[in-house]
Structure 1
């Protein structure tokens, strides 16, 4: 299977092989002392007989020629947290930790390990150290206009479709990076970006993604610049979400909040996913008021159990992630009673995947008001609507296209549905 969700998140096997060779060469030629958080993580595994056995069994089951033992895995983690993702002309290793453990995640033992709360707590501590680097000026070494993310080759890939309000589903010629995003061209090396993360959460210029006119109370817009993944209606309170492409389960999506989940029982879920090159800020899908915000600390590397031998298992598990991944829930009471209560879910897919909220409970919102952003890692978003909202989407419902090539790009702030 090919398409944006796969081609942009993980490189070809040949490119991945080169990346591993480069990383392993560094480990052998100039080993870096293990960071204290990884020393703690390694000691946690080694001092616990059950965990030690599981990690070693996982390595054996994975049969990954690049990962000969647990020691190598921790050493590779250690190298990654001192670097930022690099751009290359042929491919992108945008999720290096995921690349290291991709085969491990798909083993029976690996699934048990990466669903473990204690293991995920150690992974988060590792990510916290990585964040220090990704938000520092030292991380700008991968941005340079000579051979990094701001080089001509990269910028040619960082264009975004121009919005045409007369043909919103048929984007016209792409906008150049400097025409679409806020940047400082007088800074000829870094375009004014202060870190890798500052570049990752770059802002769109005004009017690049305008709110449709007239913008009345009944307008429903997309919260993220993304690709449509799925629309499901008549969603159940609880369902078998762990079965690949099966169903959404509201109670699990909403962090076991049964009272809130019941408000959406029988309603509709709209889900999209973002590529690493997309715009990573979120915007309000409706005019209304924030009633509740919930941060959920979930897992980082959970995948469907049916996936056993795929180079990019997370991409095939997009439907699972709203139930188990680190995420934020923003409840919005729409001003239009026909829309009612809406829940925005920002989902951190893989890696650091921090979800930062910039609004507060009680804030009034217009369509397009910035809600927050995804930092560092991959991402997806869901909008949940109540059963009483008689919403007609711009696509057939239920919607699920198996081949990513068939999934349309949905621009942030564009109308996605109307009220019947």
Structure 2
């Protein structure tokens, strides 16, 4: 299959490259016009100075842009300075709804091709580069968490998130909102993005049966792997899960308790629910955030433009993420680890359930504040008897509801 025909999972970006290229060009025109009247944000100026002053970063970024352009891709910018102008404009951008060409991860759209060029792989793994990206994304998240981000929280077609077209995709009547209030009661774009279900909208499967494990997110199944290892070659084509990297070396003892166990992974859709729920009842023993990369893809996959497709195993070891471990009430199940991975634009994994807190199956653990996302549940050896759905998975199917039956413990 040709690169530009690869399915982009979760509808975070349009399937057709020409649609994304048109967005880049249109946004570039807007950014250049905006730059004539608007002072550049200081966090973007700092990022630009870092790139300018670091010869290796500057070399890799310059070459990645050039390689993408020479490969025939339309980026909307021809060099680093032009990209910086677009990045600055992104800090006041809130995605509009689109029935056919939604750009839900606009910065991912700008970086789609440089990040999968030969020089891009090293660039987007660079810790200092990612640290500056995090600062930029945090400023953008601040805008999206404020009142000025609500310009598309309207009923107006075709861009309004409360329009009939959007409602057909989202099913707004399932969520806590009030059409009679301004912006339907949402204080910001992020408030809308992290919208909550009404009570009873997602009932918990077998709430009193500990052997029934439920889905922690509203997500589509991606992979199941058995007999996972403490360390493995997560960067190769098969992308086996590497527990030490997923949990981090600091938590080596914790990772070691899951060696030989099972990993289930699923990815979230742009249009659906982005909060996390407890897959089992028990006590939180660990809850921590891990800094990581935002746009790093596995080079073993070749030109995987979205990162939401073929690099999902790889990013569990390198991307920004939240790790929550629940010691199940059923000692035969024991600890269950939940790894919520931020992809692309995500700069905030928000943990709500902290160590020592007891949670019931189906109760909320936290949420993704913005962006494309994937998650894993990790079980200790010999715990899982069977999964409710088994590979191969249909990536055209709708996401499976949160709190629904995922698997059965022995």
* TM-score normalized by the length of structure 2: 0.92
**1:7 CA displacement:** 4.0
Counterparts of 1:395 and 1:23 in 2: how far apart (Å)? 41
Partner of 1:411: 401
Partner of 2:164: 152
SS of 2:224's equivalent in the other structure is: strand
1:4-38 CA-to-partner distances (Å, cap 9, x unmatched) read 71544335323223312221222333323221111
**1:310 CA displacement:** 4.2
Alignment of 1:210-229 (within 5 A): 210-213=203-206, 215-229=208-222
Counterparts of 2:326 and 2:117 in 1: how far apart (Å)? 39
SS of 1:142's equivalent in the other structure is: coil
**410-419 vs 260-269, which moves further:** 410-419
Which of 54, 59, 68 aligns to 1:53? It is 59
Question: For structure 2, which runs of at least 5 residues remain unmatched after alignment?
Answer: none
1:147-172 CA-to-partner distances (Å, cap 9, x unmatched) read 3111111111113xxxxxxxxxxxxx
Counterparts of 1:302 and 1:376 in 2: how far apart (Å)? 18
Partner of 1:308: 302
Alignment of 1:15-26 (within 5 A): 15-26=19-30
Q: Could you say if the C-alpha distance between residues 33 and 194 of structure 1 is closer, same or farther in structure 2, counting changes exceeding 3 Å?
A: same
How many residues align structurally?
397
Partner of 2:243: 250
Partner of 1:169: none
**1:359 CA displacement:** 1.1
SS of 2:148's equivalent in the other structure is: helix
**242-251 vs 267-276, which moves further:** 242-251
Aligned CA-pair RMSD: 1.8
Contact 2:280 2:328 in 1 (8 A): yes
**1:92 CA displacement:** 0.8
Contact 1:145 1:190 in 2 (8 A): no
Counterparts of 1:190 and 1:12 in 2: how far apart (Å)? 31
Partner of 2:33: 29
Partner of 2:139: 129
Counterparts of 2:111 and 2:214 in 1: how far apart (Å)? 36
**Is 2:253 aligned against 1:262?**
no
Counterparts of 1:68 and 1:3 in 2: how far apart (Å)? 27
1:76-112 CA-to-partner distances (Å, cap 9, x unmatched) read 1111111111112321111111111111111121111
Counterparts of 1:30 and 1:301 in 2: how far apart (Å)? 26
Counterparts of 2:201 and 2:364 in 1: how far apart (Å)? 14
